[in-house]
Amino acid sequence: MPTTHQSQNKYAMAWRWSERKLKTAQLVAEGKLTTKDIAKAAGCYDETVRFWLKIPEFMIRVAEVRRDIQKELFRRGLGGICEKGERLRHINSRHEAIMEIVTKRAAEGAKRPAEYPGIDTGWIIRTWKTIARKPMPHYEIDTAALDALASLEDQVAKELGQYPNKIQLTGENGGPIEVTTQLDVTELLKLSAGELTKRFSQQIPPTLVAGPQPIGASNGHRNGDG
């Protein structure tokens, strides 16, 4: 019986392009759809798309299309952001620009530290408000700069795969997930009344798993004879 690898090689040698395969390669190269959506758009099964992804001829075509897409983006002046390294350089450049502003503000604030607490950190901004027809200084933390830095740092972490995307899990029909814990009856018998109360005050319903226990121990504990 031929192996999967041999079957794929045999299939690749007999590879014939069709409009459906070309369209699928185009959609894969664009990278906008999932495998399931690509199969639906191309009019084939998602298992077929996954199989084609293992065929060298198909992947060569995908690489060629991607290269053409990047060339077009570069022609429009958008190519840089298509590369991870270039995106990271842009992010780092914006991060450095914000920090330069903060550093300069800190230097200016250091000349008048008594004006307002923390003004020499660079994170305090001063604006003016008119009170009783008189301009009065107003101080506040530069939350806009802090939020921008946090967003840039979060983006870098995602680019480098260091910060997984948040996934919300739900139970059946979008409801809560039921969680159970397994507790040994023998272990429960060793707990005091206070410990039992604390254990069962949690909202997680326990599933008791009967384990070896001394004869009469359970009844004695339940009846308060222990």
Per-residue pLDDT, 164: 58
Res. 222: pLDDT tops 90:
no
**Low-confidence winner among 93-97, 143-147, 189-193 (lowest mean pLDDT):** 189-193
Res. 171: pLDDT tops 80:
no
Per-residue pLDDT, 189: 67
Average pLDDT, the chain: 76
Report the share of the chain in percent with pLDDT over 70.
63
Higher pLDDT, 87 or 64: 64
Structural domain boundaries in the chain: 4-79, 86-159, 181-212
86: left (phi over 0), alpha (psi -120 to 50) or beta: alpha
**Low-confidence winner among 48-52, 182-186, 196-200, 215-219 (lowest mean pLDDT):** 215-219
Q: How many residues does the chain have?
A: 226
Q: What is the pTM of this model?
A: 0.41
Instruction: Give the pLDDT band of residue 220 (cuts 50, 70, 90).
Output: very low
Instruction: Give the pLDDT band of residue 208 (cuts 50, 70, 90).
Output: very low
Res. 206: pLDDT tops 60:
no
C-alpha 103/C-alpha 123 separation (Å) is 9
Instruction: Give the pLDDT band of residue 31 (cuts 50, 70, 90).
Output: confident
Mean pLDDT over residues 56-71, rounded?
A: 88
Show Cβ contacts of residue 123 under 8 Å, excluding neighbours closer than 6 positions: 102, 105, 141, 142, 145, 146
Instruction: Give the pLDDT band of residue 38 (cuts 50, 70, 90).
Output: very high
